[in-house]
A and B are shown apart, each in its own frame.
Chain A
Amino acid sequence: MFFHISMEKNMQLHPRHFGPHLRDKLVAKLMKDVEGTCSGRHGFVVAITGVDDIGKGLIREGTGFVTFPVRYQCVVFRPFKGEILEAVVTMVNKMGFFAEAGPVQIFVSNHLIPDDMEFQTGDVPNYTTSDRSVRIQKDSEVRLKIIGTRVDATEIFCIGTIKDDFLGVINDPGAAA
């Protein structure tokens, strides 16, 4: 799920940037430093949408760098256990399939794929029902439920399931083509 939250960060700025554009420099550096990062707590920082407040700078002893506390608004993406979301299938193999929902990767192991879907090997490996009406392959859109998240300092990886009511394929690129 995407959230719009407010966060704070202490930014260190080299004295050479001090001048009339200090604020711009600070914001540019903030974006460069923060956007695209991931923390276990807040998820992926997608985009900074505004800077609320820049506090008083504090000179670091011995270096000349100044630390500014910066309060900013940003869009983050944070998956939750139990959340249901849509994702695009990126890879299918005998062990299950991988899917992507924005910046997050999700693995659905074959025991969390409905029992009536069987793995078919070939050029386009896929999971297909015996009546061939439903197929999961690369680029399929699926609705899945996250049943577990592994959060470390720079990455969030999810385990999902499509073995429940109202989960599974939403569109079938094979059928559309």
Chain B
Amino acid sequence: MSGEEEENAAELKIGDEFLKAKCLMNCEVALILDRRYEQLQQMSDDPTNQISQVFEKSMQYVKRFSRYKNPDAVRQVREILSRNRLAEFELCVLGNLCPETVEEAIAMVPSIKSKGRALEEDAIEKMLHDLSLIKKFE
């Protein structure tokens, strides 16, 4: 059928538009939505009535599933992940799920091991280790 059928995030087939777009980790979204929520509060006395259900659900979700809370840690996470020539999407899946082992990381983001990619297991291992350190010292 159409392009819809072709879609497969495991192979990084998410459409050109999203492949090139900036992805956001849950923790980054949480920071953005927090700020936005404050703005809304200032603008009106009753922000709840301005807020869409999508906004509210998203906010609850990213707060619940943010692995890193403070903005410095969030920045560091992106910095570490960016060193490894990952696609934006891959970077954010790893940042969101925080796999503990190389095997788990590859299961979560199979595309990092796909044909033509030169990401060594050692590099993945190091990356995961660095991420766990941030978590520990946050």
Contacts and interface: CB of A to CB of B under 8 A. Distances in A.
| In the complex, A touching B (Cβ < 8 A) | yes
Interface of A: 1-5, 35-38, 44-47, 49, 75, 77-78, 80-86, 88, 100-103, 141, 143, 146, 149, 151, 164-166
B8 to A, nearest CB: 4
Given A4-B22, A75-B24, A82-B8, A35 B93 contact: no
27 contacts: A2-B58, A2-B92, A3-B23, A3-B24, A4-B21, A4-B24, A5-B22, A35-B54, A36-B52, A44-B54, A46-B29, A46-B58, A49-B36, A80-B7, A81-B8, A82-B7, A82-B11, A82-B13, A83-B93, A84-B9, A102-B54, A102-B61, A103-B53, A103-B58, A141-B64, A165-B104, A166-B107
5 tightest A-B CB contacts, nearest first: A36-B52, A82-B9, A82-B10, A102-B61, A83-B9
Given A3-B24, A151-B4, A36 B55 contact: yes
Interface residues of B, number: 40
Q: What is the predominant secondary structure among interface residues of chain A facing chain B?
A: strand
A45 B108 contact: no
A47 B33 contact: yes
A88 B4 CA distance: 26
A166 B23 contact: no
A47 B13 CA distance: 25
Q: What is the predominant secondary structure among interface residues of chain B facing chain A?
A: helix
B1 to A, nearest CB: 13
B99 A166 contact: yes
B132 interface: no
Contact of A85 (B52, B55, B58, B96): B96
B32 interface: yes
A103 B36 CA distance: 17
A38 B21 contact: no
Given A2-B29, A84-B108, A47 B97 contact: no
B68 interface: no
Contacts of A37: 54
Contacts of B80: none
Contact of A101 (B4, B33, B61, B108): B61
B96 A47 contact: no
A82 B21 CA distance: 18
B54 A36 contact: yes
Contacts of A146: 9
Contacts of B53: 36, 103
Given A35-B55, A44-B58, A1 B23 contact: yes
Nearest to B89: A1
